[in-house]
Structure 1
Amino acid sequence: MKQIFKVSTDSLRSCPYCRNVDVGGICFEKGINHMLSEHNYQIEHIGTETIEGDLGLFHTTVAILSVED
C-alpha cells in the first residue's frame, strides 16, 4: 500500500517520522529533500494549487510524495 504525503508552501508542519524536522511553508524544498533522502519517498506530482484564505484566493506550490509500506 502506498502512503501519500503532501508538502505545501502554505503550511509548515513536522515530518511524520522525525518530529524535529519541519516540512512545507518556508521549508518547502528542505522538506521535500528530507522526505526523499531520509524516508525513501518519491515525487508523484509538483504543481500549484489555488486556495482560499482570509484575504481571498492565492496560489501555493504543492508536492505530492509517496512511499510503499
Structure 2
Amino acid sequence: MTRYLGERQQDCLDGLDVFKSWSRRDRRWTWSTPSETTRIFESLVRRGLVTKTIEDGVAVYRRKE
C-alpha cells in the first residue's frame, strides 16, 4: 500500500496500492494503477517535493515542509 500524506492528501483504499486524484485536464476523478502510483511518487521524491519513508513495511510519502 502506498500512502501520501500532506496538504493535498489523496484518498487511499486500505490495502490497495492505488490512489484517487483529480485530473484537471480531464476534469474528473481518476484511479491510478500500482505502477503509476509508484512512478508518480518516485518522480516527486527525485524532484525533492516529497520525502519517502518505510513505516511497518508501507511506503509513506509526505510533502516537504
Higher strand proportion: 1
> After TM superposition, is the score higher than 0.5?
no
TM-score, normalising length: structure 2: 0.39
Largest Rg, 1 or 2? 1
